[in-house]
A = this chain, B = another copy of it.
Amino acid sequence: MTKIPHRLYLTEDQMPRQWYNLRADMKEQPDPLLNPGTLEPLRTEELYPIFCEALARQEMDGQTRFFDIPEPVREVYKMYRPSPLIRAYNLEKALGTPAKIYYKFEGNNTSGSHKLNSAVAQAYYAKEQGITRLTTETGAGQWGTALAEACSYFGIDLDVFMVKCSYEQKPFRKAVMGVFDARVTPSPSMTTEAGRKILSENPDTTGSLGCAISEAVESAVSTPNSRYVLGSVLNQVLLHQSIIGLESALAMEQLGEYPDVVVGCAGGGSNLGGLIAPFMRDKLTGIRNPRIVAVEPASCPSFTRGKYAYDFCDTGKVTPMARMYTLGSGFIPSANHAGGLRYHGMSPILSKLYHDGYMEAVSYKQTEVFEAAVRFAKLETILPAPESAHAIKGAMDVALQCKETGEEKTILFGLTGTGYFDMTAYESYLNGSMNDHVPTDEELQKGFDSLPDIPQNKNI
């Protein structure tokens, strides 16, 4: 038998031409979005002032199994995709595990992560509708960079509200977005009502994704011909990100492999939802039964310590309400360098699947995550993003379990991106100043107290 290569790239011809919509195979749909005023299920049209129409329809469509990837989007995908499926031979050897470890690496593009997959789609649909300006938020800065690239490509203006602590920790992210002509504002800012309100209540806040979302949404809906876009959590984002899983499944098939365990980091769910899509489909339809493991930071543990409840997607409470695993939109996560995972909620699709027992979740403290990141970098030559390192740590632990049991399992994890803009974080790890704070029950309770007091939340 030929040895399996270190890296497998699909050819351009083999690239998927459709995205896969996981909801079409779910036995029960995620609970509907609610209009916060009426508490009635949201109608698609009600989303049109916020999202452009094609995206609003994708957001609400639980039936259509496959969506054609528009030709112009595929043309951009071809500029940085397919991404490689990599066999982690050195990591396996160093761990002494009988398990085979594969990872799908999404970091080899200038956004530095998988975020470009949805950014290109969202910018394209906006362009199609004649939208001239988009707004968004960014935490770690990867989504903002991705969207800046996509908007520059399609000729759309972009305003990015960047979580203040990331803005300060990662000055060069702002510069990259600037190369692509995006305007970047640290959030909370005085440019929106939501920002001013948050600042008046908490002048020293370093911001949060939830808060930046409030500002970006307000800025979009109050400006003509503008729309808001989001890089995670939403159903449409998971749809676009299914390209990750579809490519992974094809590549593994070519190698004669199938993952027994699929591991992904989970912040809002964009990568995890995309990575697991075809494998979860097999599970939902009874064809195969892979273990699916979500990995989150112990400092922001939506799955492992959150509640499955209706909540706002933002801190300013201007968005529709979604039923999801949440720590409450008022939860303030402690400083954690995985900015992309510092979100109070979780994708409603993934939340439903987790609630129904199709997935597991684990959490890790950031020091052990960075320990895994540095070990991985030395063995596999890729310096991972802090977010991605959560998946590495999760996969390593599964591989070490295999070592104990002697099981030759096949593990697939998602390496979402590179850590080149996260060196402040690495420095704090290397010099021992990293903070491992985990929220106390009292701190969590404060977040839960911010949950909407509505009938749907009575029994949580």
Q: Interface code A376-402, partner B: CB below 8 Å = 1, 0 otherwise?
A: 011011110000000000000000000
Contacts of A382 in B (CB 8 A): 109-110
Contacts of A427 in B (CB 8 A): 175, 178
| Residue A7, interface by CB 8 Å | yes
Given known A-B contacts A12-B5, A12-B6, A420-B421, A79 and B179 have beta carbons under 8 A apart = no
Q: Are B179 and A374 touching (Cβ within 8 A)?
A: yes
Given known A-B contacts A172-B420, A421-B420, A381 and B78 have beta carbons under 8 A apart = no
- Copies of this chain in the oligomer: 2
Of residues 404 to 444 in A, which have CB atoms within 8 Å of B's CB atoms?
418, 420-421, 423-424, 426-427, 430
Count chain A residues whose beta carbon lies closer than 8 angstroms to a beta carbon of B.
Answer: 42
Q: Are A5 and B178 touching (Cβ within 8 A)?
A: no
Q: Interface code A138-152, partner B: CB below 8 Å = 1, 0 otherwise?
A: 000000000001001
Q: Are B7 and A381 touching (Cβ within 8 A)?
A: no
Given known A-B contacts A110-B382, A420-B172, A179 and B7 have beta carbons under 8 A apart = no
24 A-B residue pairings within 8 Å (CB atoms): A5-B12, A5-B13, A6-B78, A6-B79, A7-B12, A79-B381, A80-B381, A109-B381, A110-B381, A110-B382, A149-B378, A152-B378, A153-B378, A153-B381, A171-B423, A172-B423, A175-B423, A175-B427, A175-B430, A176-B383, A179-B377, A179-B426, A180-B378, A420-B420
Known pairs A172-B424, A176-B423 / 20 extra A-B pairs, C-beta < 8 Å:
A5-B12, A6-B78, A7-B78, A7-B79, A79-B90, A79-B381, A110-B382, A110-B383, A110-B418, A149-B378, A153-B381, A171-B423, A176-B383, A176-B426, A178-B427, A178-B430, A179-B374, A179-B378, A179-B383, A420-B420
